[in-house]
Amino acid sequence: MLFNSIHFLVFFGVVATLYYALKHKYRWILLLIASLYFYMSWKAEYVVLIVFSIFVCYLSARYIQDGKNQKLRKFFLVLSLVVNFGILFAFKYFNFFSLSISQFLQKYSIQFSPIMLKILLPVGISFYTFQALSYVVDVYRKQMKAEKHFGIFALYITYFPQLVAGPIERSGNLLPQFKEKHCFNFRNTIDGLQLMAWGFFEKVVIADRLAKVVDMIYGDVTYYTGIPLILATVFFAFQIFCDFSGYCNIATGAAKIMGINLMENFRRPYLSKSITEFWKRWHISLSTWFKDYLYFPLGGNRVSKPRWMFNIFLVFLVSGIWHGANYTFMLWGVLHGFYMIISAVSVNAREKITGWIGLKKITKIHSSLKIIITFILVDIGWVFFRANNIHDVIYIFTHLFPIALKFHGINIGLDWTDLIIAICSIVVLMTVHIVQEYYDTKKFFEKHLWIKWIIYIILILCILLFGVFKNRAFIYFQF
């Protein structure tokens, strides 16, 4: 069930209505049934996997909390890790590793037929396994008490707004909210609807329109050189942001209407002034997950510089693998690992250089330059992320220039009207981000509420007039 579908709008309307019609003590039952139905609408059989994961994590956490024997506590922690990562490996990575081993052995004249499982990737598997495991680890660390109510815990794992593409919630934030009594709140409803409207604008007006260009050009990169490749790469940067941010805004808005506050997952990432800052603004729930459950256990930055570099490199390599079973994702992670290391090592030199040429004295130019450079570096990384294979990556980087290619007559997937709408939509997006970043919009709209309503009426009209309504799946569903 896609957020950008009539099916979801009807489904959510019914669920939200029944939610406030029911007594508080029955609401968890409604939400759990709705969440399981939501997940089963993709492929009903795979609900067995998520239910199995729930049972393992629930029981493991209970035994970890009640167990006095440290070895037994560790056993149940390892059990939950093995089961969840085992499911993830089998469904997401087994075929990739089997094929990779076969190709490697064949280079040395060793015949090995890869074993290929004929299975589909369960939607949201990377998200709900990470959410479940963070809970078990928190209980093991005694940062969280094991949840005794099985139904509430099952709801924590399956809560439909953020089930299939995040944000990856923490038990300390989400679990207590299911136990609180939420009365209907008009302000929450309006705020939630506004968030959902902005999310739909990002998805159907911007992301799905840009997807036409990106899919056509990246679908056969060898047909293009120069400007089309640059255009598609820049468009993909905004497509993936608007697609993923759009999902999170719809999810957060839907939860808000029901009185549930989900964590922020994006904070205007393309206004970042460094790669380090970018990762504090992009996919925040995942980056903080890796920080808390991988980077810090490895020693973080409280180790020698070589070991710190290794920690950074490993975290981003794993992040790349998390996104998909493809060497392109691994290289994307490795690239950002190098970005982070180089950024940290060279920060003093960079500041000295900008100081020597006088840019630091002109604050706005200096800040703008850092934002542009960071965006270019991130966009280079998106080439690896979007390309179908390593061969396409090499082709793109070797055919970006000269850019003085005749643009006229080349089919990029959009006519001139759609292209203008796409560019104007990006301008609107970035204008909104700049205003939110540097101005106190909350106080302004409190004084001029009528302006806010006009803006959202225009936004809804834009969605209806310029939206691409083809029920296109969200990009992060594949991860």
Active site residues: 323
Q: Which residue has the tokens 């504090």?
A: 280
Asked if 308 and 301 touch (Cβ cutoff 8 Å), the reply is: yes
Asked if 155 and 19 touch (Cβ cutoff 8 Å), the reply is: no
| Angle, alpha carbons 70-73-76 (nearest 5°) | 150
Asked if 107 and 339 touch (Cβ cutoff 8 Å), the reply is: no
Query: Per residue in 403-424, is it b (16+ CB within 10 Å) or e — as a string?
Result: eebeeeeeebbbeeebbebbee
- Determine the distance from the C-alpha atom of residue 86 to the mean position of all C-alpha atoms in its chain, rounded to a whole number: 22
d(Cα 474, Cα 452) in Å, to the nearest integer?
A: 28
Of 202, 218, 217, 216, whose CA–CA distance to 422 is shortest?
202
Asked if 293 and 135 touch (Cβ cutoff 8 Å), the reply is: no
Q: For residue 251, give the H/E element and its range.
A: helix 227-257
DSSP label of 282: S
* Torsion angle defined by CA atoms of residues 365, 369, 372 and 373, in that order, rounded to the nearest 10 degrees: 180
